[in-house]
Amino acid sequence: MTITADMPQTSIIPIPREICLRAGVFRLDASVCITFAPSTGALARMLADRLKQFAGLVLAVKPTGAAEGRQIMLSIADDDARLGREGYKLEVTCERVSLSAPTEAGLFYALQSLVQLLPVQSLQGRHQTPAAGATGAMLEIANQTIVDWPRFSWRGAMLDVSRHFFNVEQIKQFLDVMALHKLNVFHWHLTDDAGWRIQIYRYPRLTEDGAWRAGVGFGLVADATTAYDQRGRYGGYYTQQQIRDVVDYARQRQITIVPEIEMPGHALAVLHVYPEYGCTDGPFDIQMFSGIAEDVFCAGNEATFELLEQVLDEVAQLFPGPYIHIGGDECPKKRWKACPKCQARITSQGLKDEDELQSYFIKRIERHLDGLGKRLIGWDEILEGGLAANATVMSWRGVEGGIEAAQMGHDVVMTPHKRCYLNFHQSQDKKFEPMAVWEDVLTLEQTYTFEPVPAELNEQQRKHVLGLQGNIWTECIADPKHLQYMMFPRLSALSEVAWSQDQRRNLADFCQRMRQMQFRLDVLDIRYRAIDTGKQM
């Protein structure tokens, strides 16, 4: 791809919708004051923290009208209908920088763009937070006007913490880099065959025993001693108080958390401690290797639904967002075919087969979520046997499931594994790459050139494509630095696909901007695959 004259140079990822560069610069130094209108004080203080972190500048923060001279001004203004809920305007002149938006969300994204306009020299070597009282050097930001709003409302990233557990501080760091890229949905894969990670008061053994296994598993040896309990078991979980803390942290960064509670498959962590909810007597072991387990929740047992509904009651109280993800993927039907209770359920409900039994299962869970004021979202297997009435489909096996769901009038999130699974190798030359799930390769170019809206959809159906999401499965990823390396630069690329207009995207230009983003990742102590050499940083 070539960079054209109508694509002005900027360092921002994702690239804004409109940029108008002008002569002159705003000189940013310690004499500049950040001023804020009512209701924007928290964002002003957050901006001050970021300027200290990325530029070594300590700036005063005052209400509007309480300062003179050069200022960075934050305000809520609803004077451009194009901006919607998440758009913003950023204007730089010689005398001031003005950040305005109709909502706090838009203003937050304006803040991210301003931070990314800081010249690279302010970032080089800044691996440590400046000492208290540091004033920093003078920096120059080119005069310009940016008008920007996102293409999609769902700009997500998923992290699997079941195979390998990541603690609260590591989750917060994940959220920080999401926010820098204007990503707004964190899909938290909390339960699976390898471990249950969320405290449920009604069923304490889910975390007392279901969150731990005999060893690291998956062919790995981990050094993270925090992943072990006093009995030498490997794993971990989040208390409900920790969950609330993370949810609030995400909210401050305009990120909605979508928890995933897997069903009817991927249930071994539950069946290990509560075997009565399976189709056989067990025993059931928590999984320590890749693969799809044949043992799943018994769909013919009324107690199974009582368990799951009571779990979801507690989950719904912890996560204020509209969605709860119920998985629904990779559910073998072998146990159901041999289970008298499941076969009796098929007969009593007039179902045709086990696929319709899965549909019955999902629809029943959806009714319960409806009663909790939540919307059900699941992987594209929930289409099998008939889709629940209000379900949203996350299309991972390709885009075909998303196309089918959108044509049926259902909302979809596109996350096809061949374009959005960040746990794959980043290069064909795998001997220089760290371990990855399976042997698939997903290059930066393949990620960046993904188009989430299939041509097969008509104009009305395209409106059902909420957006896209990058997913990270952690069978082979047991430490945060490995995780970060798999994320970047591909998550940066997906953020641009999710936010920017398709005609604004340009791979060569993105790579140039990514070289500057690498300095920001250095400041945040984030590991990445270098854009030029592929070197592990």
Asked whether the beta carbons of 313 and 372 are under 8 A apart, the reply is yes
Task: Name, in order, each residue with C-beta under 8 angstroms of 429's C-beta and a sequence gap of 6 or more.
Answer: none
* pLDDT for the residue 133: 41
Cβ neighbours of 95 (radius 10 Å): 12
Any catalytic annotation for residue 330?
A: yes
**Tally: H helices and E strands in the chain:** 17, 19
Distance CA 299, CA 346 (A): 9
Distance CA 465, CA 457 (A): 10
Q: Please pick, among 192, 295, 366, 496, the residue that the annotation labels catalytic.
A: 192
Distance CA 116, CA 123 (A): 10
Any catalytic annotation for residue 229?
A: no
Distance CA 114, CA 50 (A): 10
Looking at residue 275, the DSSP 8-state letter turns out to be G
* pLDDT for the residue 429: 82
Cβ neighbours of 334 (radius 10 Å): 12
* pLDDT for the residue 255: 98
- Nearest CA-CA partner of 412 in 476, 336, 469, 355: 469
Asked whether the beta carbons of 53 and 115 are under 8 A apart, the reply is no
Distance CA 368, CA 263 (A): 14
CA trace torsion 463, 176, 263, 373 (10° rounding)? -60
Coil, strand or helix: which one is 211?
coil
Q: Please pick, among 330, 356, 404, 522, the residue that the annotation labels catalytic.
A: 330
* pLDDT for the residue 6: 45
Q: What angle do CA 26, 31, 35 make, to 5 degrees?
A: 80
Q: Which domains are present in the chain?
A: 18-148 (3.30.379.10), 162-298+316-331+366-502 (3.20.20.80)
Question: Which pair of tokens denotes residue 356?
Answer: 């319709």
Looking only at the bridges linking them, the beta strands covering 392-395 and 412-414 are parallel
Distance CA 253, CA 305 (A): 35
What's this model's pTM, rounded to 2 decimal places?
0.95
* pLDDT for the residue 134: 44
Q: Which residues pair with 96 in a beta bridge?
A: 71
| Residue 202 Cα distances to 199, 238, 374, 443, angstroms | 9, 15, 20, 44
| Residue 241 Cα distances to 85, 191, 247, 377, angstroms | 30, 18, 10, 25
Any catalytic annotation for residue 192?
A: yes
Q: Please pick, among 164, 181, 187, 266, the residue that the annotation labels catalytic.
A: 266
Encode the chain (537 residues) as per-residue pLDDT tens digits: 333 334 447 999 999 999 999 999 999 999 999 999 989 999 999 999 999 999 999 999 999 888 889 999 999 998 888 999 999 999 999 999 999 999 999 999 999 999 999 987 766 655 444 444 445 568 999 999 999 999 999 999 999 999 999 999 999 999 999 999 999 999 999 999 999 999 999 999 999 999 999 999 998 876 655 688 889 899 999 999 999 999 999 999 999 999 999 999 999 999 999 999 999 999 999 999 999 999 999 999 999 999 999 999 999 999 999 999 999 999 999 999 999 999 999 999 999 999 999 999 999 999 999 999 999 999 999 999 999 999 999 999 999 999 999 999 999 999 999 999 999 999 988 777 888 877 789 999 999 999 999 999 999 999 999 999 999 999 999 999 999 999 999 999 999 999 999 888 999 999 999 999 999 999 999 999 998 755 554
